[in-house]
Structure 1
Amino acid sequence: MHELVTDVIDVNAEFAVARKALWDLLLEPQTYPRLFAGIGACELIDTGPDSRIANVRIGTAESGIRTHQLLLTVRRWYESLELQCPGTGSFVSIRLRGDEERTKIVVTVFAAGRLHPAIAEQSNAVVVAWVNKGLRRALDVIRGARTSTVVNAENSPLRRQVSVAKQMVTVGVGRTANLATGVKQVRSLTKWGFNLAGGYAAAAAHAPDRIAVIDDHGTRTFAEMHTRTSALAGAMARLDLGFGDTIGLLARNHAGMVECMVAAGKLGVDVALLNVGLSGRQIEDIVQRHRLAALFVDGDLEQLVRYLHADLHRFNTDGHPPAPHRSTIDDLIAQGHTEFHRPSRAGRLIVLTSGTSGTPKGARRPQPKGFATIAALLSRIPLPMEQPMLIPAPLFHTWGLAGLQISTPLRATVVLPGRFDAEDCLRLVAEHRVASMIVVPTMVNRILDLPAAVRARYDTSSLRAVVSCGAPLAGATVLRFMDAYGDILYNVYGSTEVSWATIATPEDLRTAPTTAGRPPLGTRVAVLGPDQRPVPVGVTGHIFVGNHMLFDGYVNSAPPAEADGMLDTGDLGYLDVAGRLFVAGRDDEMIISGGENVFPRPVEEALAHLPQVSEVAVVGVPDQEFGQRLAAFVVKREGAGLDSDMIRAYIRHRLSRFSVPRDVTFLPSLPRGETGKIIKQVLTGPQAGEAALPPSLGGPHLFT
């Protein structure tokens, strides 16, 4: 049995590095959670010429997490500093001696055991080793060690296969009541593949009468989905649609939209999923670029395609045709043509990129690679078998589509609201005893914005997982949601091009609320420098991702940069000592102000902590003096007293002077696309003041 940690511990070390380089790292509180294990997050509260004040989160979800205020004070520049924790009386003294070649460092730790019970149970040797490991990682940063790569079985096919098998057994995917049912499932997957068509066919073989889809109009069983989509595929074939053709699908979430995707897949026809927030002109460009052979459109979206060439066949998807002569998919299914040639390859789904940094591009999504695809997500998110799943995220978006794809092997009943409304979402959870919910971050915010009395009306105790993807979740939002609904929030970081990259579990988010998480099974994440080689842990670089679900390329555009089998996400970020990824922002969002690299996201995170702020977006704008500067667009909570000077003073004390937004604009809402992502170029465009206001983009109904 070891001796418990004492009140005073000295750590002495000597390194062949310049003193100033080591000093510069240790002077900034943000360094510590990146390089020292057990420190989950650091939030700057105030900065001064010789001091910093920060809140740090120490511990893990298992051992408990404590938030302490830390005061960093310079005693003698380049020679000594102190880290004090007034709340516990603990402190760390750091003294440096040396020159441009070697540095001696003495670290004195006082009352470390008061910071957390888990530390108090350790020995002096454990604390000494912890300090030394953190210092060595600081040396890695100075020396440029290539350590920013984290792999979850991506380079080991055998380990990956074993892990997939274990995951499937644990969850129960593939479990059958008898041999005959199991044979039917395997035959369905063999015939149609591991895609939506195969998923619904296999589920129909296992549980034909189980409800597959609930939408605003009614329900469909798995057997009905399989039968109807085969009839729809047959009708499409009679219309001379087949392998090599592409159709456009412009619809909101409902069973008819799902049936179009499944039927086209059975026939080998590709489907371009059109964002319902696109303009008529953008849709016309996509029709020409993809050479669409037909359009399947919801009735109330018909105005978006009314000026397209009359020879382009149109079919109604939701049973509400704009004119009596317009054929619906129910009309096509009623023809009863179930015979068609099965192609050698199933039809692919083409998802449009968000277009927040340019014109939306069509990205071909790959077919899921057997059970490995679902095993990857389930390795980080324990979605339950045969339990209802609510998908308010739009199916034309990569994340909504991913939720639908994963629902079929789980044999989950999918609840599809046509439009998102925060209160209605809670009502659906209570009514259908929903176990999992697939959302985008704006939906999380909208739910939290509901009055507490409204949220209390609905029993959400059935929820086991609320999974968010599509944009960053503010750390303040993460903690508010989990405090309200329990530790059931998961944050997925990915893109149309790479599918998933990392997943943050509730444990990750409790420890480090702004993290994007760790890679799931079969995924490799690396942070690379300009030479496309890994940077040190804790250093910001370009995020690259490799897995078996990388996209099959754009339809008419060059693919993103590639390095060692990984694709560039277009984002900048860093890995911490625990292998957690943190996203700093898009590489094209970083600005250079007065020679300093400045990211908007830390400013957005800081402002999100203000109770008067409902939403915020920060962007870079040209500046004659500094080259570029930050501009903040803020949505205040009702009745909040907040002005531009308060915003600027708040950021000035928390971040660098280059992070202070010189322009602060208050808006009633922020411009958002149909997936809830803020369209920042609208804020800085020539019509910025007017374009930010349409209720269809920022009002209570996100997907109207």
Structure 2
Amino acid sequence: MNPLVIAATMARRGMLAPNLPHRLVGQLTSLATWGMSLVGEVRQAALGAPQRIAVIDQARGATTYAELFDRGMRAAVALRSQGVEPGHRIGLMARNHVGAVEVMVGASALGVDLVLVNTGLAGEQLGLVLAQQEIDLLVHDEEFAAIVDVLVDGPKTLSESAFAAAVDALPVGTSVDRPEPAGRTIILTSGTTGVPKGAARRTPKGVGALVSMIDRIPLHVGDRILIAAPIFHTWGYAALQLSFGMSATVILRRRFDPRDVVEVLEGERVQAMFAVPVMLQRMIEQLPADPGGTVRRPSLRVVATSGSAYPSGFTTRFMDEYGDVLYNLYGSTEASWICIATPSDLRRHPDTAGTPPLGTVVRLLDADGAEVPDGETGRIFCGNEMVFEGYTSGGSKEFIDGMVSTGDMGHRADGLYFIDGRDDDMVISGGENVYPSEVEGLLVAHPAVREVSVVGVPDPDFGQRLAAFIALEPGAELSADDVRDLVRSQRARHCVPREVVFLDELPRNTTGKILTRELKARFA
């Protein structure tokens, strides 16, 4: 990345603002020593603005950067007292709160691998993940004690209160030396089609990754940022890294509630919010629209989302009420970010994935690895400095010329990228190819439809057939024949779903992704 571009972006976002000489020297020395790891970011922020609020927690209130760095260092020593050393692997099963952040910073400071465990896992699946990831110690919130305690032959466990007590017992100023090599953060894949896999997340070597994001998403130093996305998720963890890199004030809530979020946005003077798309959908569904059509959040400058696709047209609906503040990132656990759609992109084409940010290369390739022309669908490959190092199980994704396969199909038009569906979601019915997303986009535009998922299911005559699962708006009526007639009137015959199932709501995981495996299981 061009050094002049890096410098210009950092200046534009307030990262090169003057500071006291000793603090500036301390920040630069810290970054040179600790790098852009989580503990490195917190340490440089603590040196540059020690009394700035780092985290506002629903239960514990405000924690300054100086306090967060100190407690992170003590957390590292507390982990070591449990027999954890560099090279070991710990798990964290926690919601969004400052205690979870302290564990993350402590793991980063100690140089151990940190596995962020999905809070929606339970029973056999949780046991499989803990075993597959070879976790030596699991730190968990109190609410998961009953789930964790029944595990057979599981790792050593420690509740959040026990861990906090161990940190509290250590004297202020307790510290550890910089680890060599640094530990890794392991993000679990969504597991929508099977057992989640662990993807090792690289630690950025410089500020390039940070600059890549803030060049497109206008965060500023010292912003007040609400992270509603789960911090065990790729997007929530990325939001934490971006926030600490910008010495921002992070606001956390353990659980997402639409009304609570609106109160926080107004009461805490929030400038930026990180969320997953289904959260914005719930906000719009459950809260009345602003009758005057004016922006209700004058301080809100950025709403950054990622994790799943929006229903067709929703982005425009959201911005009509909240203003042109929506930035939607298309990414994956393996490739990190791929494209970002800005408000102006979404106004032009509400369903676009946007364009690649600085330092990211995207290619659309055919089955032979050749690029496809604009307008044609191809396999999406991506390259940047945050591409994963492989699954912890030893497997990987397909790579071509250093670029990783996203597993998605897409096309480029009008200078923007669009996602057409998963490459393994394409349904071949009677010899005809159809992507379910094409049918979903048509159905979700119907005023009676709240949400929809279309999948391919086995068929003895045609190989596969389409099944549409639909949740209706409260009080709305729609029949299976209505659905088929709608698709038949606007799409080819092979796009018409032969099965139409109405549900109260579609099954989702904790990050809002629809669990298609549960839907397909109905026709297994």
Q: TM-score, normalised by structure 1?
A: 0.72
- The question of whether the paired residues in 2 share the 8 Å contact of 1:267 and 1:340 is answered with yes
Structure 2 counterpart of 1:423, which letter?
A: R
Percent identity, aligned pairs only, is 44
Q: CA deviation at 1:458?
A: 10
Q: CA deviation at 1:541?
A: 1.2
Q: CA deviation at 1:309?
A: 5.0
Q: CA deviation at 1:668?
A: 0.6
Q: What SS is found at the alignment partner of 2:361?
A: strand
Residues 356-371 of structure 1 mapped to structure 2, 5 A cutoff: 356-371=192-207
Q: Is 1:172–2:172 an aligned residue pair?
A: no
Structure 1 counterpart of 2:264, which letter?
A: L
Query: Aligned partners of 1:340 and 1:445: how far apart in 2?
Result: 44
| Among 85, 89, 93, the residue aligned to 1:246 | 89
- C-alpha distance after superposition, 1:80-122 (max 9, x if no partner): xxxxxxxxxxxxxxxxxxxxxxxxxxxxxxxxxxxxxxxxxxx
Query: Aligned partners of 1:566 and 1:458: how far apart in 2?
Result: 41
1:396 maps to: 232
1:626 maps to: 462
Structure 2 counterpart of 1:332, which letter?
A: V
- The question of whether the paired residues in 2 share the 8 Å contact of 1:176 and 1:206 is answered with no
- C-alpha distance after superposition, 1:257-305 (max 9, x if no partner): 1110110110001111100111221221222222211110100111221
- The question of whether the paired residues in 2 share the 8 Å contact of 1:400 and 1:439 is answered with yes
Query: Per the alignment, do residues 201 and 340 of structure 1 end up closer, same or farther by CA in structure 2, a change over 3 Å counting?
Result: closer
Query: Aligned partners of 2:47 and 2:178: how far apart in 1?
Result: 19
- The question of whether the paired residues in 2 share the 8 Å contact of 1:467 and 1:489 is answered with yes
| Among 160, 163, 187, the residue aligned to 1:328 | 163
- The question of whether the paired residues in 1 share the 8 Å contact of 2:129 and 2:195 is answered with no
Structure 2 counterpart of 1:216, which letter?
A: Q
Query: Aligned partners of 1:384 and 1:341: how far apart in 2?
Result: 31
- The question of whether the paired residues in 1 share the 8 Å contact of 2:289 and 2:321 is answered with no
Q: What SS is found at the alignment partner of 2:281?
A: helix
1:460 maps to: 297
| Among 484, 491, 497, the residue aligned to 2:321 | 484
Query: Per the alignment, do residues 349 and 503 of structure 1 end up closer, same or farther by CA in structure 2, a change over 3 Å counting?
Result: same
- The question of whether the paired residues in 1 share the 8 Å contact of 2:290 and 2:321 is answered with no
Query: Aligned partners of 1:452 and 1:339: how far apart in 2?
Result: 50
2:392 maps to: 555
Query: Per the alignment, do residues 506 and 524 of structure 1 end up closer, same or farther by CA in structure 2, a change over 3 Å counting?
Result: same
- The question of whether the paired residues in 1 share the 8 Å contact of 2:88 and 2:113 is answered with yes
Query: Aligned partners of 1:591 and 1:572: how far apart in 2?
Result: 13
Query: Aligned partners of 2:394 and 2:423: how far apart in 1?
Result: 19
Query: Aligned partners of 1:683 and 1:449: how far apart in 2?
Result: 24
1:262 maps to: 105
1:291 maps to: 134
Q: CA deviation at 1:310?
A: 7.0
Residues 446-595 of structure 1 mapped to structure 2, 5 A cutoff: 446-452=282-288, 459-578=296-415, 580-595=416-431
Query: Aligned partners of 2:143 and 2:505: how far apart in 1?
Result: 25
2:450 maps to: 614
Residues 434-445 of structure 1 mapped to structure 2, 5 A cutoff: 434-445=270-281
Query: Aligned partners of 1:451 and 1:223: how far apart in 2?
Result: 38
- C-alpha distance after superposition, 1:25-84 (max 9, x if no partner): xxxxxxxxxxxxxxxxxxxxxxxxxxxxxxxxxxxxxxxxxxxxxxxxxxxxxxxxxxxx
For the pair shown, the structure with the greater C-alpha radius of gyration is 1
1:340 maps to: 176
Q: CA deviation at 1:641?
A: 2.1
- The question of whether the paired residues in 2 share the 8 Å contact of 1:423 and 1:455 is answered with no
Alignment coverage as a number of residue pairs: 521
Query: Aligned partners of 2:337 and 2:520: how far apart in 1?
Result: 30
Query: Aligned partners of 1:451 and 1:229: how far apart in 2?
Result: 38
Structure 1 counterpart of 2:164, which letter?
A: I
- The question of whether the paired residues in 2 share the 8 Å contact of 1:193 and 1:346 is answered with no
RMSD, aligned α-carbons:
1.9
Query: Aligned partners of 2:170 and 2:295: how far apart in 1?
Result: 43
- The question of whether the paired residues in 2 share the 8 Å contact of 1:214 and 1:413 is answered with yes
Q: CA deviation at 1:504?
A: 0.5
- The question of whether the paired residues in 1 share the 8 Å contact of 2:54 and 2:65 is answered with yes
Structure 2 counterpart of 1:287, which letter?
A: L
Query: Aligned partners of 1:520 and 1:636: how far apart in 2?
Result: 37
1:190 maps to: 32
Structure 1 counterpart of 2:167, which letter?
A: L
Residues 378-393 of structure 1 mapped to structure 2, 5 A cutoff: 378-393=214-229
Q: What SS is found at the alignment partner of 2:149?
A: coil
Q: TM-score, normalised by structure 2?
A: 0.96
Structure 1 counterpart of 2:197, which letter?
A: K
Query: Aligned partners of 1:234 and 1:200: how far apart in 2?
Result: 17
- C-alpha distance after superposition, 1:651-678 (max 9, x if no partner): 1112222111121111111100011100
| Among 661, 666, 674, the residue aligned to 2:497 | 661
Q: What SS is found at the alignment partner of 2:313?
A: helix
Structure 1 counterpart of 2:77, which letter?
A: G
Residues 627-646 of structure 1 mapped to structure 2, 5 A cutoff: 627-646=463-482
Q: CA deviation at 1:411?
A: 1.4
Q: What SS is found at the alignment partner of 2:518?
A: helix
Structure 2 counterpart of 1:472, which letter?
A: A
- The question of whether the paired residues in 2 share the 8 Å contact of 1:524 and 1:546 is answered with yes
**Tell me, which stretches of 5 or more residues in structure 2 are unaligned?**
none
Query: Aligned partners of 2:393 and 2:29: how far apart in 1?
Result: 36
Query: Aligned partners of 2:443 and 2:522: how far apart in 1?
Result: 25
Q: What SS is found at the alignment partner of 1:610?
A: coil
1:304 maps to: 147
Query: Per the alignment, do residues 518 and 311 of structure 1 end up closer, same or farther by CA in structure 2, a change over 3 Å counting?
Result: closer
Q: Is 1:222–2:87 an aligned residue pair?
A: no
2:189 maps to: 353
- C-alpha distance after superposition, 1:427-468 (max 9, x if no partner): 111111111111111111111102416999994221111111
1:598 maps to: 434
